[in-house]
Amino acid sequence: MKENHVENQEEVIQEEDILDADKKDDSDQDESPKNLELEKLKEENKEINNKYLRMTADFQNFKKRAEKEKSDIYQFANEKLIVDLLPTIDNLERALKSNQDEGANESFTQGIEMIHQQFLDVLTKNDVKEIDAIGQKFDPNYHHAVLQEENDEYESETVVDQFQKGYTLNDKVIRPCMVKVIK
């Protein structure tokens, strides 16, 4: 009899487990639309979060680009003015050279030298540098070859003469040197 009671009790427990499982299945069926809606909301949340992260990254990139552009504007704001002044400096140098050749009035020559030096000081203050060309290997980024010459004394692609000085502004070439190059 005890064995029957234990068996009956086991059957009751198994029936309760089955009923509980059925209830869970029923409750799962009741919650499945809720689960679907919850999953849908989670996916929407992920999408919104991803959009937010992308927009934040885009905004950071925009800020960096704007800062770089602002920096470039400050750095190269005088470029046009300087480029416009370079022919004046060239003419002053030509005047100095011709006055030295002709043995002109010394005080006049000194005046022109002082003006020339003032121009060069202004350029130096604004980070304008002369490009060194003679004796250098030809570089199309810095030199503009207007003549080529065959000569066994120099190595090929060497700059041997300079017709017009070249300049850089903050390491950017604003005018290349006009040069003669060995073939």
77 token code pair: 């704001």
Q: Evaluate whether 173 touches 143 at the Cβ level (below 8 Å).
A: no
pLDDT in tens, 19-71: 555 555 544 455 688 888 899 999 999 999 999 999 999 999 999 999 999 88
Q: What is the pLDDT of residue 104?
A: 61
Distance CA 161, CA 164 (A): 9
pLDDT for 102: 62
> Per-residue pLDDT tens for 75-106?
778 888 888 889 888 888 888 887 766 656 77
Q: Which residues contact 82 (CB under 8 A, 6 or more apart)?
A: 123, 126, 128, 167, 169, 174
124-139 residue pLDDT tens: 888 899 998 898 899 9
